[in-house]
Structure 1
Amino acid sequence: DLLGRVELKNPEVLVYGEDARYDPDAERVSFAEAGFDIPARPARGSAQQVEVTSDSRISLMSMLFTTCPPENVAWEISAKSAELDVNGGVGTARGVKLDFKGVPVLYVPYFSFPINAERKSGFLTPDISERDRTGFDLSVPYYLNLAPNYDLTLEPRYMSARGTQLRSDFRYLMPNSRGEFGFEYLPDDEETQTARRYQNLQHESLFGANDQLELLSGLEEVSDDAYFEDLGTSLAVTSQTHLNRFVDLTYFAPSWSLLTRFQNYQTIDPVLTDVERPYERVPQIVFGGRWGGRLLAFDSDTELVNFDRNVGTTGWRLDSTQEVSLRFSRSGMFLTPAVALRQTNYWLEDTAPGEDDVQRRGLPIGSLDMGMTFERDAEGRRSWVQTLEPRLLYVRVPFEDQSTLPVFDTILPDFNLIQLFRKYQFVGPDRVADTDQLSFGVTTRLIDAANGRERLTATLGQTRYLNPQLVTLPGTAPTDTDASDYVAEVGIGVRDTWALDLGYQWNSETSSTARAETRIEFRPKDDRLFGIGYRYRRDSLEQGDVSMAWPVAQRWRIIASYSYSFLDKQRLEDFVGWEYEACCWRLRMVNRNYVSRRTGESDSSLSLQLELKGLSQRVTSPDELLDRGILGYRNIARA
């Protein structure tokens, strides 16, 4: 027997009490009226009787357990009996009661909980909501740590207006593979009287000694077009129109790669007609290679695709571009002339009467790309390096009538800085614009000489068309302008707390704005931010948003966002949340309103999350909430 205060201590746990008994044969120490501390969690507790064995297992009778400090016990688990496996990082208890602020909130006959920071099976933070389309909405996720390299989350979801849904998410990690499989199932929707489901598989595998062979797949399927509108919880989810399904097999060699892809889409926008739905690619084979030395380079790009669909013209397309270029470069400048031959062949089925089922197009392409970089020291209160980087690109493509060629996957993208220095106006091989054009742009950067951080970058550019362009997509008129819009982008991060992104496109012929994007963000500390954004596309979009996550008291924080469409004169989405964080628990309440249907109808929800630190942790961070709540929101990268 050991009398007086006795402590048993190792790096993982401290057990202490008045008087103890040691059994050398069983290598066991017994305490009466003892306490224990687990500093790595941190967690602590007490029990009427405690037994500690040599393998760091602790058996307790009439146990109390919490991660709260002694002076402020907000929540506490009491159990008739419990066992703590310190090495395994898990505790199990029987006859369990959970009290929060002195109020019993849970009774269970058996309960397991983590006692260290390692992954552990158990309940995650539940989500309690009230939504217009689902009624009272309760989700209680349970995490299963099945093995070190795979796990499963099961999430029963009760909706008073629709029934009980089961959601699951299985993740796995193998030596050369990783992936995730999600499945949602509602056996009987009380509103639609149907079974509803959603499943999603993402997988990646690498093969070969140098991982030169990659298998990548993504498969999504949903039971009906209105699934996300009825059961989704944000504008980003409910606004989906297509679900992508693909399998890619890619071989990577030092100078070339070969991709084989099978791809189709599930269209879930009922407004789209059959001829507006995307084609299946069954298969798509893409070869890309580049060979060369310091002066001469040869680029080869070839794509073979079989386009299939229930309506309209289908068939095979072979598109091949072979380019030879010279690169003259020295410090601060480069000059790259290039010539290429682009050949496209079609073997078609179900063509319109009078159209050929075998068609071809061959075009020579010439280009000259050149640029320079100037630097100078800009002295002031601190040392700066300023650059000036002019660039010119000349492209010549002759005209060839392409009006009889089908359009499988070709679009005319928005003009921007990426398009400014592309040789091809269209994205996709079905149209190659005839052009005789000169693109020019200039970029300047301001770099902090002390740490190399880029504090400012600004680019301005335009394309001049020396001859009219005649090749167009069906239903559009030829381009008769002699110049593109001016495009400009500015990124400013002169101080770590402020960041600004500006994008602007100006039509000089009509003296009007074609596109504008602005976002300013103030983040003085990691736990607070304020942002304002504005997006404009002439005749199609004009939106603005305000967002913030800011402490308003020592433990209180407000999280809010508001997004509005000036063109439609309606709110797109807004939410406001209040968060209270104490030492061992966190409470968050979020009220959200968002457009939930393509017709413009809105939905609203009120959600409540309570996290007891040390038992469950899955409360969404403020950045994630803002990312979901603002269409087009992104964190501005600061240098």
Structure 2
Amino acid sequence: MQLNLDFFKLSCLYNSNLNYVQDVIMQQYLRYRIFIKKTAYYIGIFGLIAFVFSGVGVHAFPETDSLLFRNDPNTPWHISADEVEYDQEADQYVAKGNVSITKDDKTLNADIIRFDYKAMNISAKGHVVMTAGEDILTGTGIEMDLNTETGTIYDGAVFLKENHFYIKGSKIQKTDKNTYTADKASISACDGDIPAWKITGKNLKVTIEGYAVVKHAALWAKDIPVMYVPFFVFPVKQKRQSGLLIPETGYSDRKGLEYQQPFYWAVNDSSDATLYFNYMEKRGNKIGSEYRYVLDDQSKGTLMFDFLDDRTFEAGNSDRYWFRMKHDQKMPFGFSAKLDIDVVSDQDYLHDFKDGYTGFEKTEAYFNKTFGRELDDYNDPVRVSSFSLNKIWSDYSLNLGARWYDNAMEENAPGGAFPDNPLHKLPFIRFDSLKQQISDTPFYWQLDSEYTYFYGEEGAKTHRADVWPRFSLPYRFKNYFTAEPSVGLRETIWYVDEAENHPVLFGNSAEKDNFLNRELYDIKLELYTKVFKNYSLRGKNAGQIKHTISPQIVYEYIPHSKQRKYPNIDDSDRIKKKNLITCSITNTVVSKALSVTDEPLPANRNQLITDHCPLFTNYFRFKLEQSYDINEANETDPAEWKNQKEKRPFSPISAEIELVPGRFVSLEADAEWCVYENDFQSRNVSINLWDERGDRLSVAHRYTQDAHESVYADIMVKLSDSISAYADYERNIYDRKELRNCLGILYNAQCWSAELRHTNETDEHKYAFMITLYGLGEIGSIK
């Protein structure tokens, strides 16, 4: 049986004792009354709000309101039941048996529902269950005024799917459109009648898009009370809320007792900010700020700034700071702009404050995730700030910009100057073309071109224009191989505006002309082919294995040119002679299920593991490469043998291996073998193992002859469904120094977790114990 309250077209089964004439008159009266007042009746909302409980501020911008809020007044309510009666004395309709009321994605089920069509009141009893999207409300009874959007739920419980949160109360009242109260209530993120933790209290008041207040709040671990506070306030997480975030506490030899308290500020719908106060017992008070904004779907930015008057810093000025910023901007006519700023007071700042809310690691992770661009390494004293404006066509690209190099070592260098400061690029313009056919001829062309104005604070100023077109004639010999000869013609022009004997521009050259130019040509010949074969595996839907072999020979020639008189700013100013033959062979094996459509393998191995394991069950790549230097083989002057005792025209043999033999293992390795010393010049290997239940092992070894050797290992073992142990270790074998070791244990339950960890990094010990109550935040300390 269904009742449509839109036009009150009632289709009901009435009891036999109702008078038919009376029923017809009542129906006509209802049609007329509802037609006049339908606009007022339709604005009612049916159900209890699903408010999201959280102990911290929210960083993300809001996308949609809660499903329990959204209500289109033009959408009718529909009622169905086994039996619908009219109570003449009360002038109400009563629905019994499998009663269901629906509107949009909201549904209310109960045993009995009584509807007062004059006052637009509804009362439901018996096994009351209301769903709105994935949120669920249950109770023994509910009373709701559809006009004023107020009502009462008896013995009610609300489950909020987004945060996996439960709110329970003997009597929950909706006092106005956005406010709810309960005399006694409990909140928890745990399933079950006896949750692992809950917070109980009295006089709970919840204001949507505002705060929730509860008096005499108590934290329970199952049936045991463990903490009491007389007054507890938390923001209701429907939209971003201003408020205090979870603090960080700690102790270390270098900083002493440390406490960092963030405050989140929801500025408006398109921007927010976080302010940080960091107390360090031994170093002072560090303050920081972070401002985020969104202008449109392709324009956004973030600014961050920290400042510390460091009472223990002896390397220079005690005023230490770090300013960084990234901005993306959509521009007219298909252009896009990017701005990156990175300025730091000294070279040690990023190392001293590597972790924490405003540390280098979290900052870089945020920038990489939000903007897809990382920061320079924290050990690099030269910080790069840049601006770029670019546009990409199908065959061409244009990039205009500027790059400013800030040397963090300069301020602390003797005399206040650092001799190796790079010259700023203010501005640079690049225009490039992809390889494309010249009309209907068999010839192809491509172009790399750049103009740069170099500016030095010590007075060095110069212009440089570099134009490098390349012409090629690819030729395919049947199905055997492809030959592609090409020639490049390169013209470079310098105009030195001001030099003042700057060593970077001219070195020790006696010639210092203002206008200089250089013409060079280069020749390149590529021979390559590809051989592959598909192997069908046995069994239904077993798939195929594709093995590909790609040999290649490349010859490159650049004539010798005297270039000492030219400025020496970067690699484009010194083009070395070349007469080189490079041979390589690449083997690739891919196993693919038959149901999978053809698609290229991702270049990123991690993407292959995470996104393509169900598709590619086997992946293998092995490449060998070696070069022969004809110039060095023909050289007769020992002084030109690259400071070696003998001529070495053959380069080291380089090898690369990437292997993903199954869903739970991957391996990467590369090495260079010197044929003259019969030894490795470098070798690097890393292996990753994991399984479905969460165990993992990663081991990496890095070696460079006479320069570097280190090992890193990371392991996590699931001791049970809830308990995991983890450890990591890093050591510089070359310097015989231990860089880091960490050991921890993690207990992870359905609604809470506890972690105990010890870390020793650069002779600094840290002990951490942290409890996380899902939905509320973290409680713990680091000593």
CA change 1:77–1:305 in 2 (3 A) is farther
Deviation at 1:464? 0.8
**Matching of residue 399 in structure 1 with residue 560 in structure 2:** yes
CA change 1:17–1:487 in 2 (3 A) is closer
Q: What residue in structure 1 maps to residue 632 of structure 2?
A: 468
The superposition leaves residues 346-371 of structure 1 with CA deviations (integer Å, 9 ceiling, x where unpaired) of: 23323357232343322111111121
The superposition leaves residues 520-571 of structure 1 with CA deviations (integer Å, 9 ceiling, x where unpaired) of: 1101127332011011111211111111233222212223211111110001
Deviation at 1:502? 0.9
Q: Which amino acid in the other structure matches residue 212 of structure 2?
A: T
CA change 1:379–1:6 in 2 (3 A) is closer
**Matching of residue 541 in structure 1 with residue 708 in structure 2:** yes
Deviation at 1:179? 1.8
**Matching of residue 52 in structure 1 with residue 171 in structure 2:** no
The superposition leaves residues 416-460 of structure 1 with CA deviations (integer Å, 9 ceiling, x where unpaired) of: xxxxxxxxxxxx312212111111100011111435636100000
The answer (yes or no) to whether the contact 1:398–1:434 under 8 Å persists in 2 is yes
SS at structure 2 position matched to 1:71: coil
Q: What residue in structure 1 maps to residue 249 of structure 2?
A: 128
Q: Which has the higher helix share?
A: 2
The answer (yes or no) to whether the contact 2:179–2:205 under 8 Å persists in 1 is no
**Matching of residue 158 in structure 1 with residue 158 in structure 2:** no
> 1:343-422 alignment to 2 at 5 Å?
343-348=491-496, 349-351=499-501, 352=508, 354-357=510-513, 358-378=515-535, 383-409=544-570
Q: Which amino acid in the other structure matches residue 233 of structure 2?
A: Y
CA change 1:72–1:407 in 2 (3 A) is same
> 1:602-617 alignment to 2 at 5 Å?
602-616=763-777
Aligned mates of 1:38, 1:235 — CA distance in 2: 35
Q: What residue in structure 1 maps to residue 482 of structure 2?
A: 334
> 1:550-629 alignment to 2 at 5 Å?
550-595=717-762, 602-616=763-777
**Matching of residue 459 in structure 1 with residue 654 in structure 2:** no
**Matching of residue 524 in structure 1 with residue 671 in structure 2:** no
Q: What residue in structure 2 maps to residue 419 of structure 1?
A: none
Aligned mates of 2:136, 2:754 — CA distance in 1: 31
> 1:242-253 alignment to 2 at 5 Å?
242-253=382-393
> 1:109-148 alignment to 2 at 5 Å?
110-114=233-237, 124-146=245-267
Deviation at 1:497? 0.7
Q: What residue in structure 1 maps to residue 467 of structure 2?
A: 320
Q: What residue in structure 1 maps to residue 421 of structure 2?
A: 277
CA change 1:107–1:216 in 2 (3 A) is farther
Q: Which amino acid in the other structure matches residue 468 of structure 1?
A: E
Q: What residue in structure 2 maps to residue 302 of structure 1?
A: 449
The answer (yes or no) to whether the contact 1:435–1:468 under 8 Å persists in 2 is no
SS at structure 2 position matched to 1:509: coil
Deviation at 1:108? 5.1
SS at structure 1 position matched to 2:419: helix
The answer (yes or no) to whether the contact 2:641–2:648 under 8 Å persists in 1 is no
Q: What residue in structure 1 maps to residue 408 of structure 2?
A: 268
Aligned mates of 1:480, 1:308 — CA distance in 2: 41
Q: What residue in structure 2 maps to residue 29 of structure 1?
A: 151
Q: Which moved more, 1:391-400 or 1:291-300?
A: 291-300
CA change 1:298–1:4 in 2 (3 A) is closer
The answer (yes or no) to whether the contact 1:321–1:342 under 8 Å persists in 2 is yes
The answer (yes or no) to whether the contact 2:771–2:778 under 8 Å persists in 1 is no
Aligned mates of 1:231, 1:442 — CA distance in 2: 46
Deviation at 1:144? 4.5
The answer (yes or no) to whether the contact 1:128–1:608 under 8 Å persists in 2 is no
Selected match of 1:99 from 196, 200, 219: 219
- Relative to the length of structure 2, the TM-score reads 0.67
Aligned mates of 1:267, 1:587 — CA distance in 2: 43
Aligned mates of 2:434, 2:564 — CA distance in 1: 32
Selected match of 1:196 from 317, 320, 323: 320
Q: Which amino acid in the other structure matches residue 748 of structure 2?
A: E
The answer (yes or no) to whether the contact 2:382–2:405 under 8 Å persists in 1 is yes
Q: Which amino acid in the other structure matches residue 487 of structure 2?
A: V
Aligned mates of 1:163, 1:134 — CA distance in 2: 9
Deviation at 1:227? 1.9
Q: Which runs of 5+ in 2 are unaligned?
A: 1-113, 115-122, 362-376, 502-507, 599-615
SS at structure 2 position matched to 1:539: coil
Q: What residue in structure 2 maps to residue 173 of structure 1?
A: 294
The answer (yes or no) to whether the contact 1:75–1:612 under 8 Å persists in 2 is no
Deviation at 1:397? 0.9
Aligned mates of 1:3, 1:512 — CA distance in 2: 84
The answer (yes or no) to whether the contact 1:220–1:244 under 8 Å persists in 2 is yes
Aligned mates of 2:125, 2:182 — CA distance in 1: 20
SS at structure 2 position matched to 1:468: helix
Deviation at 1:92? 1.9
Deviation at 1:476? 7.0
**Matching of residue 429 in structure 1 with residue 602 in structure 2:** no
Q: What residue in structure 2 maps to residue 416 of structure 1?
A: none
Q: Which has the higher strand share?
A: 1
CA change 1:585–1:155 in 2 (3 A) is farther
CA change 1:242–1:556 in 2 (3 A) is farther
Q: Which runs of 5+ in 1 are unaligned?
A: 410-427, 596-601, 620-639
Aligned mates of 1:524, 1:131 — CA distance in 2: 36
- Relative to the length of structure 1, the TM-score reads 0.81
Q: What residue in structure 1 maps to residue 433 of structure 2?
A: 289
CA change 1:430–1:125 in 2 (3 A) is same
Q: Which amino acid in the other structure matches residue 521 of structure 1?
A: N
Measured on the aligned residues, the alpha-carbon RMSD in Å equals 3.5
Q: Which moved more, 1:304-313 or 1:67-76?
A: 304-313
